[in-house]
């Protein structure tokens, strides 16, 4: 590629090519890790219940759990996905919901800038977690994993407990 074709100095063009090659290499590594993930467990039968049925008792109490607890297989699969998500914090990620659908979440942080070296202390989170894992990130991820994308605060809390970064 010629710098004159783009109207930029050759030094800048070579830096751009190098940045693209690095970005592409990291993308390939992430895709390989995604391919190595096994297929998700089959959807839970109760996940197919329609929203009217799930929320029929909501008038009596504001925050009921309307979803079934995650199976051990689903929790294990989610934790593998979670490792991939937090290993590349500047990329969007697609989680597998309990109903078998994919749900995309935004990147954890913008690219560039200096990465945090240590996670801030939090009583609900494990101290040995990646620095960009926060309660807000876990809530966002749990909300994305709600069946049909709809649920209550109690449902989000139940899904947050599936995370490997939450103190048990």
In the chain, how many domains are there? 2
- Assess contact for 84 and 96: CB atoms under 8 A: no
- Assess contact for 100 and 43: CB atoms under 8 A: yes
Q: Judge whether 82 lies within some domain.
A: yes
In this structure, the answer to whether residues 24 and 107 fall within a common structural domain is no
What's the pLDDT tens digit per position in 83-97? 999 988 888 899 988
What's the pLDDT tens digit per position in 40-74? 777 665 555 666 776 666 666 667 888 888 889 99
Residue 126 is classified by DSSP as -
In this structure, the answer to whether residues 58 and 30 fall within a common structural domain is no
- Assess contact for 167 and 126: CB atoms under 8 A: yes
Kind plus residue range of the DSSP H or E element containing 33? helix 10-36
In this structure, the answer to whether residues 32 and 48 fall within a common structural domain is no
Q: Judge whether 167 lies within some domain.
A: no
In this structure, the answer to whether residues 30 and 65 fall within a common structural domain is no
Q: Judge whether 168 lies within some domain.
A: no
pLDDT of residue 105: 92
The pTM of the full predicted model, rounded to 2 decimals, is 0.69
In this structure, the answer to whether residues 123 and 49 fall within a common structural domain is yes
Q: Judge whether 83 lies within some domain.
A: yes
Domain that holds residue 22: 1-36
pLDDT of residue 110: 65
């Amino acid at each position: 590629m010629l710098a004159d074709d783009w109207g930029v100095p050759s030094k800048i063009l070579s830096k751009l090519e190098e940045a693209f090659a690095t970005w592409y290499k990291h993308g390939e590594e992430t895709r390989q890790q995604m391919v190595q993930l096994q297929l998700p467990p089959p959807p839970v039968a109760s996940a197919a219940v329609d929203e009217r049925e799930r929320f029929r008792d909501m008038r009596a109490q504001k925050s009921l759990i309307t979803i079934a607890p995650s199976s051990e297989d689903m929790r294990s699969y989610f934790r593998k996905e979670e490792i991939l998500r937090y290993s590349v914090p500047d990329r969007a990620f697609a989680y597998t919901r309990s109903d078998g659908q994919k749900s995309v979440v935004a990147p954890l942080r913008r690219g560039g800038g200096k990465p945090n070296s240590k996670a801030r202390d939090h009583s609900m989170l494990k101290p040995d977690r990646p620095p960009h894992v926060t309660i807000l990130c876990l809530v966002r991820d749990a909300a994305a994993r709600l069946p049909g994308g709809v649920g209550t605060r109690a449902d989000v809390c139940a899904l947050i407990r599936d995370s490997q970064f939450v103190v048990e």
